[in-house]
Structure 1
Amino acid sequence: MAKIIPFKAVRPTRAIVGLVAARPYQSYTVNERESRMDYNPYSFLHIINPGYKYDQVITGEERYKLVRNRYLEFKEDGVFIQDKKPSFYVYKIVNRFGQEFNGIIAATSAEDYEKDIIKKHENTIAKREKTFKTYLQTVGFNAEPVLLTYPDNDVILSIIKDTQKSHAEFEFTMTYKDTHYLWKVDDEATIATIQSEFDNMETIYIADGHHRSASSHLLYADEKTKNANHDGSEPYNFFMSYLIPESDLVIHEFNRLVKDLNGLTKEAFLIQLDSLYRIENRGNIPYHPSKPHHFSMYLDGEFYSLYLRKKRYAFNTALDELDAHLLYKTILQPILGINDLRDDNRIEYVNGRHEMITIKSSVDSGEFKVGFGMCPANIKQMKHIADEGLKMPPKSTYILPKLRSGITIYEF
């Protein structure tokens, strides 16, 4: 039974919301960040990069305290205002490719995360979890929702569509040509209906934001221990999420680029591949796989198709069926010697929204020796892996929508 609650969001004013909203901090280059902060005093980047004001890099808890200060200044200056009634927020994104995402921003339960009602499919790094927990405790807010997905639901869909018939609180377009819309839902009967529908769901799934949700759970566990009067209603019991139906989720693959052949010649490498794959040289014709367990490869100026010899590989779990894991277990680890997909600097990742020509140009440049492409995972695979308590390798999925920071803020 998934528990969600409305909350009083802190939001930018309608006039400047498009100036405030920002992509995740690490998605900008240094030049992009500096340019936006030079010319846009309202950007949320000013809050999360407070050292810009003093023209220096500030890290650790000193930075967190300054983030809190910049946030309070935005509130004092009227850039942010807080809604007077607890609300859900219907949110729509239409990207430049015409893909549309519709869902509800709400506060979701850290206890549900603990009980595995909110299910995970990716491993997290304990150090990052603890660092971000400390950050949350210091700044006192969530500014970017965790992306959660739920089974398609006709009642919730009807509420979303009916809400969207009214004038949107926000409507703005970002520089990447994604248009965002927000509607406030504060009618108590409608709120109760939405909560009841989620209460009937046995599980919901994290699509994107595993570290943010894990850190919010650590915060909840820490604050609960310190609070002798804890009753489960405190704001730290929840974290902000954007919940969308499974049919709205778009999943791309992450393709792999490797810098060397682990000491092998091209011929020796192909011979080792042959034991597990049927290999066809496609010459200079770009090939993209159309079936699970098929891979594309670009090596030494030529494209190859790789078809798994299934009698040589055992499918025992849902994870075994995942192509990102299959590539790791059959090629990247045993042949190319890449054991740590997260930290090995010999491997890099390119999201599947880019064509195979990106793989080709990266290898042709000499920076990489070989590139691999695969089919994307699907929501059914993600759920099966989560249901079995297993975890995907890093960079297994590139999931849309990508959310912005600073549009709705949850305080605790």
Structure 2
Amino acid sequence: MANLIPFKAVRPQRDKVHLLCSRPFYTYKKSHLKAKLESNPYSFLHVINPEFNALNKTVPNSAERFVLVKNKYEEFKKNKFLFKDEVAQFYIYRQTTEFGIFQGIIAGASVQDYQSNIIKKHENTIQNRENIFKKYLDITNFHAEPVLLAYNPTKLIKQIIAQNILERPEYEFTTTDRKVHELWLVNQPDVISKIQEEFKLINNIYIADGHHRIASSSIYQQSKHNHFLSNYFLSFLIDQKELKIFEFNRYINSIYPLNEEEFLEKIKINFNLKLLEEHQPPSSKMELSIYLKNKWYLIKIKPQKISNDFKSQLNSQIVSDFILKDILNIKTTRKNRNIEYIKGNQPIEFLVNKVDNNKMSLAIQLYPHKINEITTMADLGDAMPAKSTWIEPKLRSGLTIYEY
């Protein structure tokens, strides 16, 4: 029985929405971030990076930095780059990309649903990051990037979305990453009530992206008992079948002290190995493709080597258990300098070039996880291996801002 609320979003003026909404700042290279900030005074990146070009800067993630974020946000409202809706409403958002069309409802989702495991996680979080974002919420009192939630919508929810997107959208704009963004307002009281009633029929919602944001919102809510809006957090709810799940490939900086022959002999202990004439991606969760010394190999785990439990048979877990830990002695993947994670939506040539430029390195191409693997792990109360998935859509910051 999921609980959603409409809310009064703070959002861009229609003539500035294409200029203001930004990707999350951490997705930009430093040179690109600098160029964006220098060329676009309306970008929401100025709110997140309020000290651009300042000589004396505050400490990252400090209270002083977050006060500056808050001040810049208020400046954007004062300058009427942003305005607040007068009535609480839901928002339907659609993103069209080269690899899929994603549409769903932007709403306030319930923190209590997260605490009671109606909204389920599949990833472990780091307490320090939770506390940093909670401090950010304490000071700024706004949430600008929705948590991506996946669920199985009812027939009526699908019908409501389909009917509303027949109308002219409030926003329609294209960004330089070749994505089209559209937003519709849902402010009819009867439609709002229908959406809320339909979500009460839904008992399982899954976090697709934003585990730390929702965990921080939970901590924030516990410190604001008498504040109604703190019982909810900004979310984008999408049909789980519409998600596009890419793998997170592994790049190993060095296989030292092993050489090529020694490494491949160790691989043969647990895998069947085949030398390829050209690149071939894995075709099942039991397979991996590896690139070493200008050669591609297809490897397949020997069935008798893996346990029967669900997690052990995950493709990313096979990599962790039988290559990273067993062969390369990488026991923990967090902040290990010998491993990098490469998003699966990048051309395979990116991995190839990295290995070709480093003779001791190795690339491991994984098989993309399926949504049922993520939901099963969440239902079991277990976590996927770190950096298992890169999930689209990625949402823009500043499109619909939730104020506390």
CA distance in 2, matches of 1:221, 1:53: 37
Moved more, 386-395 or 366-375: 366-375
Alignment CA distance shift 1:377-1:84 (3 Å)? same
Say if 2:307 and 2:313, in contact at 8 Å, map to a contact too.
Answer: no
Residue number in structure 2 paired with 1:346: 338
SS of 2:63's partner is helix
- For residue 397 of structure 1, what is the amino acid of its counterpart? T
Instruction: Check 1:100–1:19 CA distance in 2 against 1; reply closer, same or farther (3 A cut).
Output: same
CA distance in structure 2 between the partners assigned to 1:288 and 1:56 by the alignment? 49
Picking from 249, 252, 257, the partner of 1:255 is 249
Q: Alignment partner of 1:113: what SS?
A: helix
Q: SS where residue 91 of structure 2 aligns? A: strand
Per the alignment, residue 313 of structure 1 pairs with: 306
1:308-365: CA deviation from partner (whole Å, max 9, x where unpaired): 101121121x222211111101111111011111210100011111233322211001
Structure 1 position 406 matched with structure 2 position 403: no
Distance 1:98 1:348, change over 3 A: closer
**Count of equivalent residues:** 402
Once residues 368 and 57 of structure 1 are traced to their aligned partners in structure 2, the CA distance between those partners, rounded to angstroms, is 39
Letter in 2 for 1:183: W
Q: Does 1:11 align with 2:3?
A: no
Distance apart, 1:152 and its partner CA: 3.6
Q: 1:262·1:335 contact (CA, 8 Å) conserved in 2?
A: no
SS in 2 for 1:67: helix
Instruction: Tell me how far apart the structure 1 counterparts of residues 164 and 70 of structure 2 sit (CA, whole Å).
Output: 34
Q: Give the match's secondary structure for 2:223.
A: helix
Q: Alignment partner of 2:224: what SS?
A: helix
Q: Take 2:200 and 2:235, find their aligned partners in 1: how far apart are those partners? A: 16
- Normalised by the length of structure 1, the TM-score is 0.95
Counterpart residue number, 2:185: 184
What is the CA-CA distance between 1:218 and the residue it aligns to? 0.9
State the alpha-carbon separation in 2 of the partners of residues 359 and 276 from structure 1: 24
Identify the residue that residue 89 of structure 2 maps to in structure 1. 87
Summarize the alignment of residues 190-229 of structure 1 with structure 2, pairs less than 5 Å apart.
Answer: 190-224=191-225
- Determine if contact 1:93/1:101 at 8 Å carries over to the other structure: yes
1:274 and 2:275 correspond: no
**Equivalent residue runs for 1:357-372 within 5 Å:** 357-366=349-358, 369-372=361-364
Instruction: From the superposition, tell whether residues 393 and 256 of structure 1 become closer, same or farther in structure 2 (CA, over 3 Å).
Output: same
The answer to which of 152-161 and 238-247 deviates more is 152-161
Structure 2 residue aligned with 1:333: 325
Hey, what does 2:104 align to over in structure 1? 103
Aligned to 1:26: 26
1:381 to 364, 373, 382: 373
> Helix, strand or coil: the match of 1:296?
strand
Q: Is the 8 A contact 1:287 1:356 kept in 2?
A: no
Q: Provide structure 2 residue ranges, at least 5 long, that are not aligned to the other structure.
A: none
Q: Hey, what's the Cα distance between the residues in 2 that align with 1:328 and 1:334?
A: 8
Q: Which residue does 2:116 correspond to in 1?
A: 115
Task: Give how far 1:53 is off.
Answer: 5.8
Matches of 2:255 and 2:360, distance apart in 1:
10
Q: Whole-Å Cα distance in 1 between the matches of residues 401 and 40 of structure 2? A: 20
SS of the aligned residue for 2:139 comes to helix
Q: Judge conservation of contact 1:16–1:42 (CA < 8 Å) in 2.
A: yes
Helix, strand or coil: the match of 1:260? coil
Listed one character per residue, the Cα deviations across residues 281-321 of structure 1 (whole Å, up to 9, x for unaligned) are 114x01211111100000111100101101121121x2222
- Return the alpha-carbon distance in structure 1 between the equivalents of residues 105 and 55 of structure 2: 38
Shift of 1:242: 0.4
Secondary structure of residue in 2 paired with 1:253:
strand
Percent identity over paired residues: 38
Distance 2:228 2:159 in 1: 31
Give the equivalent residue in structure 2 for 1:292.
285
Secondary structure at 2:308 match in 1: coil
Task: Tell me how far 1:265 sits from its aligned partner.
Answer: 1.9
- Which ranges in structure 1 are unaligned for 5 or more consecutive residues? 225-229
Aligned-residue CA RMSD (Å): 1.2
**In structure 2, distance between residues paired with 1:355 and 1:290:** 17
| TM-score computed with the length of structure 2 as normaliser | 0.97
Distance in 2 separating the partners of 1:177 and 1:289: 28
Letter in 2 for 1:43: S
Counterpart of 1:288 in structure 2: which amino acid? P
Give the whole-Å Cα distance in 2 for the aligned partners of 1:188 and 1:197: 14
Question: Do the aligned residues in 2 keep the contact of 1:119 with 1:205 (CA within 8 Å)?
Answer: yes
Please state whether the residue corresponding to 2:52 is helix, strand or coil: helix
Correspondence 1:62 to 2:46: no
Q: CA deviation at 1:33?
A: 1.4
Following the alignment from structure 1 to structure 2, what is the Cα–Cα distance between the partners of residues 274 and 131? 45
> C-alpha distance in 2, partners of 1:292/1:15?
46
Taking a change above 3 Å as real, the CA distance of residues 142 and 368 of structure 1, as seen in their structure-2 partners, is: farther
